Amino acid sequence: KGWAVRTMQEVPRGAFLCQYFGELISSAEAAQREDAAYSFVVDMQAGPECCLDGRFYGSVGRFLNHSCQPNLVALPVVVGHEIPGIAFFSARAIQAGEELAFDYGERFWEAKGRRWACLCKSPGCRYRPSREGPTADDAAAAAGDPGLGTSTSYPLRGFSRKSARSSPLKTAPRRSARSRRRPLR
């Protein structure tokens, strides 16, 4: 599953960890972009849905992987007066050395379909056990990383106009065979 983020120290429950930084673009522009691997949909209740694309400009937040039993929650926040953003908070106390991860949401995994299986390895993994066929690593090796494209859902109810199970992570548009060469890091 490529790069990941681990904490070097213990983190108490409810602590702010980091923001998801990236280019703030409209959903329409996000849909035009070829690689949506680092594209996080920000759905504030007020205003149109937009996207933070961390592909070219980003921070450590873009290396956070998905877990079916996440230790982080991603919450929409407003920076300053009106700039929408995403902030990650610890959902529980986290031990030093643990990988930090959040739930990408149902929409992300539905978009991946059977081509992908979750590699979070948590006992409650929802996207691996029932699936046959290649894992995400197998698929990536065969076809290149199709990318997140979509963003994760907000794990907390009430922040999204969509259902709490919807995903802020958008699906990457299908790429041509020639452009699918980038391997997972």
Tell me which residues touch ligand SAM (CB under 6 A). Answer: 1-4, 37-38, 62-63, 65-66, 118-120, 136, 145, 147-148, 184-185
Closest distance between ligand SAM and the C-beta of residue 90, in Å? 18
Tokens matching residue 121? 């390895």
CA pair distance 170, 119, nearest whole angstrom: 19
Smaller CB separation from ligand SAM, 47 or 57: 57
Smaller CB separation from ligand SAM, 89 or 109: 109
CA pair distance 85, 74, nearest whole angstrom: 10
Smaller CB separation from ligand SAM, 4 or 141: 4
Closest distance between ligand SAM and the C-beta of residue 137, in Å? 8
Tokens matching residue 69? 């039993």
Closest distance between ligand SAM and the C-beta of residue 112, in Å? 8
Closest distance between ligand SAM and the C-beta of residue 47, in Å? 24
Smaller CB separation from ligand SAM, 44 or 184: 184
DSSP assignment, residue 165?
T
Pairing mode of beta strands 150-151, 65-66? unpaired
Closest distance between ligand SAM and the C-beta of residue 155, in Å? 15
Provide DSSP, 60-75. GGGGPEE-SS-SEEEE
Smaller CB separation from ligand SAM, 86 or 118: 118
Give the helix ranges, DSSP H, for 102-172: 106-112, 136-143
CA dihedral 153, 157, 161, 163 (to 10 degrees): 60
